[in-house]
Amino acid sequence: MPIFITFEGIEGCGKTTQLARLAEKLRARGRQVLTTREPGGCPIADAIRKILLDPGNSDLAPRAELLLYAAARAQHVEEVVKPALEQGVLVLCDRFTDATLAYQGFGRGLDRNLIAELNDLAAGGLTPDLTLLLDMPVEHGLNRALGRNARSNLEQEGRFEAESLAFHQRVREGYLAICQNLPRYARIDALGSIEVVEERIDAAVTDFLKRRA
Ligand code: TMP
């Protein structure tokens, strides 16, 4: 049975680290797992990612931004996600359609009904089976993200970290609002050591897989 799990959360919430750990754990338990991310996950979508995250593109119009995320997603779903699911591989994706609702909808203020329709088009109707929302106060996440970028000179990753605290607050509140309305969501308290958060995620995923079986 195809299983598609997505990770969501604000900047610096730890989802990329946790996704890699979960993948290792599931592989050790005998599952075939593909890890991928959005925007990106294949060469064409990675090229779009560069445009989207380049701090030099600070004048990118919100509607152009929205359409670029959608274009990257359409390519990624077609080329990577759907073929893997069709082969019975469990797919773990770092961000997906809910990120567009949270960032471009709640963060930028674009029409959320329109985004939902565009998400559906871009994802070819695909929805995650489980979404893990790694939730933490915005200040914690942003401090972590900015520190990480400074340490590794990740200038390409900077366009969203440069947004105001209020923007990120809207994104967090957006995620919490989306999460409340969707049964496929598990909200994970992302404050705590990597190991503690990992255990919380493991419990949520194990519970989901049991219900699924
Ligand atoms: P990342 O930090 O998880 O790699 O994601 C890159 C940035 O892109 C992050 O700041 C969130 C943003 N983003 C959106 O604004 N809309 C989207 O649809 C996606 C997938 C990401």
Q: What angle do CA 141, 144, 148 make, to 5 degrees?
A: 140
Residue 41's nearest CA partner among 2, 16, 76 is 76
pLDDT at 154: 56
pLDDT at 149: 72
Query: What is the CA(88)–ligand 1 centre distance, in A?
Result: 27
Cα separation of 62 and 68, whole Å?
A: 10
pTM for the full predicted model: 0.95
CA of 39, closest atom in ligand 1: 20
Per domain, the residue ranges of the chain are: 3-212
pLDDT along the chain (213 residues), means of 10: 95 96 98 98 98 94 98 98 98 98 98 98 98 96 82 63 89 97 96 98 98 92
Query: What is the CA(31)–ligand 1 centre distance, in A?
Result: 27
Residue closest via CA to ligand 1's atom 18 equals: 100
pLDDT at 34: 98
Cα separation of 101 and 75, whole Å?
A: 19
Residues at CB less than 6 angstroms from ligand 1: 11, 38-39, 53, 69, 94-95, 99-100, 103-104, 160
pLDDT at 20: 98
Instruction: Indicate the fold that domain 3-212 takes in CATH.
Output: Rossmann fold (3.40.50)
Torsion of CA 102, 108, 113, 117, to 10 degrees: -80
pLDDT at 77: 98
Hey, which of 103, 104, 175 would you mutate to test ligand 1's pocket, going by the most ligand atoms within 8 Å of its Cβ? 103
pLDDT at 159: 77
Query: What is the CA(14)–ligand 1 centre distance, in A?
Result: 14
pLDDT digits (tens, 9 = 90+) for 140-173: 998 888 887 777 665 545 678 778 899 999 999 9
Give CA separation, 6 vs 18, 64, 153, 155, in Å: 12, 24, 27, 25
Query: What is the CA(210)–ligand 1 centre distance, in A?
Result: 30
Hey, which of 63, 75, 159, 160 would you mutate to test ligand 1's pocket, going by the most ligand atoms within 8 Å of its Cβ? 160
pLDDT at 156: 47
